[in-house]
Every structure is written in C-alpha cells, then in structure tokens.
Amino acid sequence: MSDYQELAARIRALSAGETDEVALMATMACELHHSDERFDWTGFYRVVAPDLLKIGPYQGGHGCLVIPFARGVCGAAARTRQVQIVADVEDFPGHIACSSSTRSEIVLPVVGRDDRLIGVLDIDSDRPGAFDQNDADALSAMLTEVFGQL
C-alpha cells in the first residue's frame, strides 16, 4: 500500500522546476508504479484532439494507443472530469481490456491551468476492488500539485 505522503514528497522533489508534461508524466508513472504492489499498469493518456485520448508515458504491459472520449473508463474520466473507481471491470459497460488479468481500475482526470484537460491517469490492478476514495483523494492532490499550473 502506498505511503502517499512519502510518495508525494518524492515526486515533488523529482519534478521540481520541470514544466514539460511528458517528462512529468514519465516521472509520475514510474514512481507510482513502483510504489505499490496493487498497481499492475500505471500510465497516462493525453488529450491529442477534441474528444480523443492517445497513450502517454506508462509502466506495465502494452496499453492500447488511442481511446475516444466515448469509450472505456478513460473516456468516462475525460468526458465527465470525474474520478472513476471501478471495483470490477466486468461491471463497467464498454471497459477496454488492455490486459485480460485486470480486475479493477482507477482513472483520474489531469487538469492544468484555466481548467484545461491535459489527459487522464489510469491505474489498473489484477486485484478486485483494489482502489478506494483514499486513493482517489491522494492521487488527485498529487496530480493537481504536479500539473495544475501547466
């Protein structure tokens, strides 16, 4: 289980002064992924066109390259700008399975300055019900700190 305070401090130190979105995504995906045994896929999807996400930096097996806002858990997070906590991916209509071993998922919107949607952070787990509101709150705070002023 992540010590989110320690993790946030490490990411804060590693990303200090950096404003490049891809560099920040790569750093955050790496630190998040290796911090918690629940996280089996950790990565970002970037808004590359209206209503279209494209894969960004990630850790874990291959991820699908392109996701329209109309599809999947990532599309739902981008469309609604609400955190999606999915206890069982089989119960999510239109879930996109990049790995057959994924059982639960959390996807959070990544929002920059002036409410600009930069993309989403997607974390998959092979464990059912791996994520809760504590994860959503801590991850959202980290995303705001790292990306909120870009």
Please give the residue ranges that form the binding site for ligand SME (CB under 6 A).
Answer: 41, 63-64, 67, 72-75, 95-96, 98, 105, 122, 124
Q: How far is the CB of 96 from ligand SME (least distance, A)?
A: 4
Cβ-based neighbour number of residue 106 at 10 Å? 24
Q: How far is the CB of 98 from ligand SME (least distance, A)?
A: 3
What are the backbone dihedrals phi and psi of residue 145, each rounded to the nearest 5 degrees, phi first?
Answer: -65, -40
With DSSP H G I counted as helix, E B as strand and the rest as coil, what are the percentages for the chain, rounded to 5?
35, 25, 35
Nearer to ligand SME, 4 or 41 (CB): 41
Cβ-based neighbour number of residue 62 at 10 Å? 10
Nearer to ligand SME, 128 or 148 (CB): 128
Q: Which residue sits closest to ligand SME, CB atoms considered?
A: 72
